[in-house]
Structure 1
Amino acid sequence: MSAGEICRPLVGLVCDRFFVGEHDLHSAKHSYIRALISCSRVSPVLIPATQEIETTEGYLDGVSGLLFPGGASNVEARRYGGLTEIGMLVDPERDHVALELMRGAAVRGMPFLAICRGFQEMNVAFGGTLHTDIHAAGHAADHLEDPNEDLPTRYRYKHDIDLTAGGRLSALTGEQRVRVNSLHRQGVAELAPSLAVEARAPDGLIEAYRLDGNDFALGVQWHPEVTVESDGMSRSLFEAFGASCRRYAAQQAVVHNKG
């Protein structure tokens, strides 16, 4: 192992919990792991989704950043004062772990990146609400995933987003408008007070935001982990996240050495 590999900070990747047959599993898609290793240049570690974790402080002590990935399930509506629709796939175990980790990371100033489901968790974690079905709420159908399509087709670019002038994404890309993929049914209804909009879709739906006060705390509704090899913005996003994790690790090392 090279010295560069040894210096890579640990970054926690939150798992989904689900059943395959009778087997109760915790997992994360390899596309996130690949993007973290190859682009962010960090070492991902998986954090299980279970309410048996009574405190997340130990995980926060051990990592220098967090990635909250997408997932097949939705945030339980009770988490933001809504009603969960019949048949909606939920993962209360992940909600429990992810929301606590996100709030803890914010307190510490720890960098984190939230993608799709993670983006929705981010709004809920800081006091916002969600539409359980954005199509029913009047937003465009091009946000939605068609499960009958093959995977490459599902992850194609589907609509533009307008980047907020002076925002973090605008600074990373040097662009005002970019095109993204889109595979989600939930979306932001009321934005959490502490979040600042980074991008919107043409129909007005919020597509990205940041939490001010952290070196890097961004949520995006699309899936940049799939396109890091072909899309400049996706790569810049993961590179900036990795750089922030290394800065955080260096700062913590200084604090530890002083102690």
Structure 2
Amino acid sequence: MTRPKVGIIGNSYLINDQYPAHAGGTMNSEAVAEVAGCMPLLVPSDPRFLSVDELLETFDGFLLTGGRPNVHPHEYGEVETDAHGAFDRARDAIVLPLVRACVDRGQPFLGICRGFQEVNVAMGGTLYPEIRDLPGRMNHRMPPDGTLEEKFALRHVVKMTEGGVFHRLFGAPEVMTNTLHGQGIKAPGSRIVIDGLAEDGTPEAIFVKDAPGFTLSVQWHPEWDAANDPVSRPLFSAFGDAVRSWARGERPGGLQKSA
């Protein structure tokens, strides 16, 4: 039997600084295939090649991945500055309406890092361009040097809302996570529930209130070592369960329905 299909949102990328490509990290596919138990398929997220409606009809769920480009500040009513970094306007044009459509339909998605930020912006929220420049905040960016193991190592605690969705999912009120991001939530969007915070107050885990489907999103990178990490595995397993429910035609079916 064909596994349920998860569309992995790709990023625009230049190979050798000149050959345009759509790219997706191997660890995203590994987490979807090996932990969520679904078929991972890379989406060239550009409205020149596909539409949101086509994506909704083709896939059973979506993984909104991380990526170096940031959501353009025009999408949340702010002026572009040097601090906002690089952008991928084609991805903005696909993912932001895709998130809103999935929320309305109850179609599952899991947001990671940039994907977490996209969910907030899609629901009307705003972002800080650089978390480390804020008073009292730590540097959440990826270490510039070291092996992949060192860059994705667990670096800080995330404290969950007592009895909330993520607390129940992880079976613990606090978990250790990696951190590889520069931006973060400034103002939460409409219906965005901040369900987990880093020790410096940075939002790290969210969902969409009263959404009929799975909308869990995290600021860290759970795709790293997802099969073995005690936080990543239940997150991807729950996402896979939601995707399978959608593929079977069950409507709606979201983890946060009882929250």
TM-score, normalised via structure 2 length: 0.91
- Report the Cα offset of residue 74 of structure 1: 1.1
2: distance between equivalents of 1:185 and 1:139?
15
Question: Is the 1:111–1:214 contact (alpha carbons within 8 Å) kept by the matching residues of 2?
Answer: no
- 1:24 is matched with 20
Instruction: Give the unaligned 5+ runs of structure 1.
Output: 254-259
Tell me the amino acid that sits aligned with residue 17 of structure 1: S
Does the alignment pair 1:236 with 2:231?
no
Shift of 1:249: 1.1
CA RMSD of superposed structures (Å): 1.6
Counterpart among 181, 184, 209 of residue 187 in structure 1: 184
Residues 199-214 of structure 1: pairs in structure 2 closer than 5 A: 199-212=196-209, 213-214=211-212
One-letter code of the match for 1:217? T
Structure 2 equivalent of residue 219 of structure 1: 217
Whole-angstrom CA distance in 1 between matches of 2:50 and 2:190: 27
Is the partner of 1:148 in helix, strand or coil?
coil
- Counterparts in 2 of 1:182 and 1:230: CA distance versus 1, 3 Å: same
Distance across 1 between alignment mates of 2:136 and 2:121:
20
Displacement of 1:52 in angstroms is 1.2
Stretch of structure 1 that moved more, 58-67 or 86-95? 86-95
Which residue of the other structure, out of 51, 58, 78, is the alignment partner of 1:55?
Answer: 51
Q: Is the contact between residue 161 and residue 201 of structure 1 (CA under 8 Å) also seen in structure 2?
A: yes
SS in 2 for 1:33: helix
Mapped pair 1:33 → 2:29? yes
Cα contact 1:15–1:26 (8 A) shared by 2: yes
**How far off is 1:151 after superposition?**
1.8
Shift of 1:139: 4.7
- Structure 2 distance, partners of 1:84, 1:150, is 33
Seen in structure 2, the aligned counterparts of structure 1 residues 15 and 61 have a Cα distance that, compared at 3 Å, is same
What's 1:103 paired with?
100
Residue 196 of structure 1 aligns with an amino acid whose one-letter code is: V
Which residue of the partner structure matches residue 75 of structure 1?
Answer: 71
- Determine helix, strand or coil for the equivalent of 1:25: strand
SS of equivalent to 2:135: coil
- SS of 1:232 mapped into structure 2: coil
Identity %: 33
The one-letter code matched in structure 1 to 2:56 is: L
**After TM superposition, where is structure 1 displaced by more than 3 Å over at least 4 residues in a row?**
none
In structure 2, what residue type is equivalent to 1:62?
Answer: T
Match of residue 9, structure 2, among 7, 14, 18: 14
Deviation string 1:39-90 (CA, Å, 9 cap, x unpaired) is 0000111111223147310110111111100111111111111232227111
Alignment correspondent of 1:256: none
Counterpart of 1:118 in 2: which secondary structure? Answer: helix
| Structure 2 gap segments, 5+ residues each | 252-259
- Aligned-partner Cα distance in 1 for 2:49–2:121: 20
SS at match of 2:127: strand
